[in-house]
Structure 1
Amino acid sequence: MAGVDEVEVVVAHSERATLRVGDVFLKVDGNQANIEVEVEAIALAPVPTPEILWRKPPVLAIAAVPGKALGVLGKPSTASPAAWAAAGAAIRTLHEAPLPPWPSKKNPDEIAADLDTECEWLITNGFLPADLVTRNREIAQAAFRPWTPRFTHGDLQITHIFTAEDQVTGIIDWSEASQGDAMFDLATLTLGHEERLDQVLAGYGTDVDLDAIRAWWSLRSLLASHWLIEHGFDPNTPGCEFDVLRARMKH
């Protein structure tokens, strides 16, 4: 990093921060369990991942991966259909890999309880109309069905998959990896980019539960909005979580 004179704050809030210094990302996390999961998941995942340069708690240094992220939430993606299909194929490879030795952080009962709490908070505080929240709560119910645990990334946002020349060059941010629901990964990737789902499935395969994916669009948006608001983010930005919830009213 010799000669680097600029530090970019990629994300920063009360729980963690990520800084970029040249071609190195420095992840600072007060919860060392998250760092431990990230290190082990990167070692186990059979897909392109970033190189871990060093670790000195509470900091983890990771090399930047080549290529460009598929996009960002709230803006149209300029990535090609082939790049989205390549992402789908990489996710399939991950989901078919041997399970990591640790389970999911939350069980369905805990998620359902959190969902009830967050729905009430959104209505009580006037962030969303009651009918919109109620309708999305009904759609979200389809996520609570029997599913076979897979090796899941757990936070597969569009900004976390990088491609170049229509090939996946790296998948980053593995702190939420676990034995999870494969449909959650697919829903997280296509959140706010529903038009790209068919392209993802062209690489992933069609043996998926579309109702569960749609349910996770609602469920993730309902669960995340309170946290986003309290940490200085705006889920009401065009194309983001509130628009995802509004879109469900049209279907």
Structure 2
Amino acid sequence: MDEVEVVVAHSERATLRVGDVFLKVDADRARIDVEVEAMALAPVPTPEVLWREPPVLAIAAVPGTALGRLGEPSTASPAAWATAGAAIRKLHDAPLPPWPGRAGRSLDALAAELDGECEWLVANGVLPAGLVTRNRQVAEATFRPWTAMFTHGDLQVTHVFADGDEITGIIDWSEAGQGDALYDLATLTLGHEERLGDVIAGYGADVDLDVIHGWWSLRSLLGVRWLVEHGFDPFAPGCEVDVLRSRM
């Protein structure tokens, strides 16, 4: 039997790897439903679904390696990052899926959530008030009208795989749905600001950089408490807190 590797595990879900098979365990059946349907609809390379027995989804590993990891320099080529941008544009231009996604939350709900997290970060001494206030201001650029597109919703750099300059697979589609396209671009380049130009070149469309910066700040502010409470370290070099400091 192949060794079992715990890829990620917390109170909401867990992913295990056994050889070339990933087993995703999620108590929320709706997330598994979204993941399967989104992969079927997305016009980009996705993992093969091997079998499904809720709460477990088995998918095949995709070839290649992730574009990078948060907190570490990416060794992927500029062309690979540009190809990722082109793949994201293809996804965004595809017909909309029939459900809302993580990147499509209402502005009022998002602002209320952000205000609550900012208050918690300061009240509990997790981050300095000046750092939180500045990034809250930067995040306001995301509060504007946008056209819904087919978004991945959690396009972390570890979710995009490449072999050389080619994108071989995009994984983890449980947050996919209708949403703000710039959220995907910002999520992919979070902590990899130097790669944003390559991604935009491949994406092939005008991008409001203030909104990208806003999403970097907003995603980081919203993520710090969750990461701490689930055993992750947002203070690690190059991770969420460093992203927030970079906006000062």
Bin of the TM-score, shorter chain as denominator length: over 0.9
Contact 2:76/2:164 (<8 A) preserved: no
SS of the equivalent of 2:59 reads strand
Alignment of 1:14-163 (within 5 A): 14-105=11-102, 106-163=105-162
SS of the equivalent of 2:155 reads coil
RMSD of aligned C-alpha atoms? 0.7
Segment drifting more, 72-81 vs 99-108? 99-108
How far does residue 127 in structure 1 lie from its aligned partner after superposition?
1.1
Question: In structure 1, what is the equivalent of residue 9 of structure 2?
Answer: 12
Distance in 1 (CA, whole Å) between partners of 2:174 and 2:110 is: 18
TM-score with structure 1 setting the length: 0.97
SS of the equivalent of 1:151 reads strand
Distance in 1 (CA, whole Å) between partners of 2:7 and 2:107 is: 32
Distance in 2 (CA, whole Å) between partners of 1:18 and 1:216 is: 27
For residues 177-227 of structure 1, the C-alpha deviation after alignment (integer angstroms, 9 at most, x for no partner) is 010000000000000000000011110014111111110000000001110
Distance in 1 (CA, whole Å) between partners of 2:100 and 2:240 is: 27
- Consecutive aligned runs of 4 or more in structure 1 exceeding 4 Å deviation: none
How far does residue 112 in structure 1 lie from its aligned partner after superposition?
0.7
Question: In structure 2, what is the equivalent of residue 242 of structure 1?
Answer: 241
Alignment of 1:210-221 (within 5 A): 210-221=209-220
Gaps of 5+ in 1: none
How far does residue 165 in structure 1 lie from its aligned partner after superposition?
2.1
How far does residue 110 in structure 1 lie from its aligned partner after superposition?
1.0
Segment drifting more, 59-68 vs 105-114? 105-114
How far does residue 108 in structure 1 lie from its aligned partner after superposition?
1.6
Question: In structure 2, what is the equivalent of residue 181 of structure 1?
Answer: 180
Distance in 1 (CA, whole Å) between partners of 2:28 and 2:107 is: 23
Distance in 2 (CA, whole Å) between partners of 1:104 and 1:158 is: 19
- Aligned residue identity for 2:137: E
Question: In structure 2, what is the equivalent of residue 165 of structure 1?
Answer: 164
- Aligned residue identity for 1:58: P
Gaps of 5+ in 2: none
Distance in 2 (CA, whole Å) between partners of 1:107 and 1:176 is: 15
How far does residue 104 in structure 1 lie from its aligned partner after superposition?
2.9
Distance in 2 (CA, whole Å) between partners of 1:35 and 1:109 is: 27
- Aligned residue identity for 2:13: R
Contact 2:101/2:151 (<8 A) preserved: no
Distance in 1 (CA, whole Å) between partners of 2:17 and 2:151 is: 26
For residues 149-201 of structure 1, the C-alpha deviation after alignment (integer angstroms, 9 at most, x for no partner) is 00000000000000002000000000000100000000000000000000111
For residues 101-153 of structure 1, the C-alpha deviation after alignment (integer angstroms, 9 at most, x for no partner) is 00135322111111001001111111111011000000000101000000000
- Aligned residue identity for 2:131: L
How far does residue 100 in structure 1 lie from its aligned partner after superposition?
0.4
How far does residue 99 in structure 1 lie from its aligned partner after superposition?
0.3
For this pair of structures, how many residues does the alignment match? 246
